[in-house]
Copies of this chain bind each other. A is one copy, B any other.
Amino acid sequence: MSDPSALESSPIQREKTATSYTYDRLPGWRRYRALHPFRGMYHDVRRRLPYYWSDITDAWTYRTIASTIRMYFVNILPAIAYTLDMYRRTGEFFGINEALFSSALAAMVFSILGAQPLTIVGITGLISLFNYTIYDTIVIYEPAIYANFMCWTAIWAAIFHWIVAVCNFCDYMRYVTDFSSESFGAYVGIIYCIKGVEELVNEFTEHGLAAGYLSCLIAVLYFLTIYGLEWLGSSTICRPWFRGLLADYAYVIGTIFWVGFAHFPGNLKATGISFVPISKAFYPTQPRGWLIHFWELEVKWVFAALPFGFLVMLLFYYDHNVSSLTAQARQFPLKKPAGFHWDFFLLGCTTFIAGITGIPMPNGLVPQAPVHTDSLTIYETDLHIIHTTSSEDASIRQPTIKATAVVEQRISHFLMGLAIIGTMTRPLLIVLHTMPAAVFAGVFFIVGWGSIESNGILKKMIFLLKENRFVQRDEPLLRVKRGKIVLYILCEVVPVAACVAISQTIAAIGFPILIIAMIPFRVWIIPRWFSQSELDILDDLTANNSAVLKSLGGPPKFPGEKEENYGVVRRYSEERSGHVRQRTGSITR
């Protein structure tokens, strides 16, 4: 490996190294990426390692602190929320200690060893759905083997992860477009909202009417508080620094207030709503050791776990890599390169560790991932004056937000991990115990709604609903026939509806197949129904950052495509109002 400082000082040489990972012009057998084992991982490390020292030295700014605090809340709140759900639905196998252990493990591994330290890894709603669906399946046969079965599922999943990483299959992520990631975002958002409702329903069944209604009230008001604070943070009131504070600490302010509210002496305290259940610090929730005795499982069950392991890998393949893609999307002015193969290999390792210790398997957090990059981005609110043809005074003044730089480093991720380890100790577990479950229902709603509100599907629907004469004439969607937009929305909505429908059944674990199937559908079927100029407007590459595409073997080649010009709508929107600040839960622009 060449000297990092030399690399950094010579942009030409760096450019050469970075672009050297591609299969596009290779002849014969060399075109098959599976026949180049470890090539992607090698290039990922080689590309990223020279920046390692700067990942530490670049961190000495205020943004790192703000980011650490914001991400701690945005990571840990939904994680605990899902754990409440998992705890009840897996026979109390996965508890708070497991969740914290898993989050801490992921944060440590990916902040120290990851090639993409911006991608926050932790517990998602989908793995929770996976875990309890497997539980529902297993209890039909043999409840006692759940721990061992989950362990083997994870071991198989880890093996598939390593195969994918070694064979460079992450390259196919470059074909992911907003077509599938919008659907995925909508699906995740809807699942979050459903989980929020389930959390509240549980309050009614377990603690009675008063506790149930109070929980509903707290959830709704928590939602409104965070929504209002984030809205104020993106308005033009007061000074920019004050708005920045509101945007950075909306979760902190909202959570502290509503947790305190639930403890008000008198009626509120007397209502007896439920709080986060905790157990002895650093011990598993169940009376067991941290090592799962996986060698005690019958062989037939070991192999029965194989397809489940494959499904987990499919889920993580999409979920983790899309979260890396969105955390490194084009709207962030990133300078440091990506490394998908290496990170997916690491994810295999954490999946393996999670398996043999009996903790939930962590992976990239889809709605939260871009929030980390956003919290590290230095924004400037500029004045955008639109001159009108009437008098000079009547020109229209609008704020445009510009992302000037991103504090790319791994310290905020690392510190967040330390904070989670701290949370595992008894004193902070007791603090966790003060938090009412209702607040987590509110978290579900705010994150879920964020993912729906900012979704491209909803935006296209609103465009269709809007009275035509009030649409700006330069709106790109006007250049596509309305029928085509309807068809495109249908192609996105049907898989979402299918996923949501099966998520209420034991077939829930099949949803990754549906989502992944949208990628080849987009590549081979969609171009037959839509012209390229229509797709330029309706769709956009999710992997649109050139630094990202370098790790994925260069830009994608869609079949039969002459000249692609994706991102028309994105550029149009950026031109008019600049960069839109990331709200928690929004996966796409």
Contact = CB atoms under 8 A, between A and B. Distances in A.
B472 A213 contact: no
A544 B396 CA distance: 30
Nearest to A478: B393
Contacts of A210: 208-210, 213
Interface residues of A, number: 45
Given A217-B216, A389-B389, A240 B469 contact: no
A214 B210 CA distance: 8
A150 to B, nearest CB: 35
A209 B216 CA distance: 13
Contacts of A217: 213, 216-217, 220
A60 to B, nearest CB: 29
A393 B469 contact: no
Interface string A191-218: 0000000000000100011101110110
Contacts of A236: 466-467, 470
A4 interface: no
A209 B270 contact: yes
A388 interface: yes
Nearest to A204: B267
A323 to B, nearest CB: 32
A256 interface: no
Contacts of A470: 236, 383, 397-399
A386 interface: yes
Contacts of A467: 236-240, 381
A13 interface: no
Nearest to A383: B469
A387 interface: yes
A530 to B, nearest CB: 23
Nearest to A212: B267
B474 A393 contact: yes
Contacts of A388: 386-389
A34 B576 CA distance: 63
A395 interface: yes
A465 interface: yes
Which 3 A-B residue pairs are closest in the complex by CB-CB distance? A213-B213, A209-B210, A210-B210
23 contacts: A204-B267, A209-B214, A209-B271, A210-B210, A220-B221, A236-B466, A237-B462, A238-B465, A238-B467, A386-B390, A387-B388, A388-B389, A392-B473, A393-B473, A394-B472, A394-B473, A394-B474, A395-B472, A396-B472, A397-B469, A397-B470, A397-B472, A398-B470
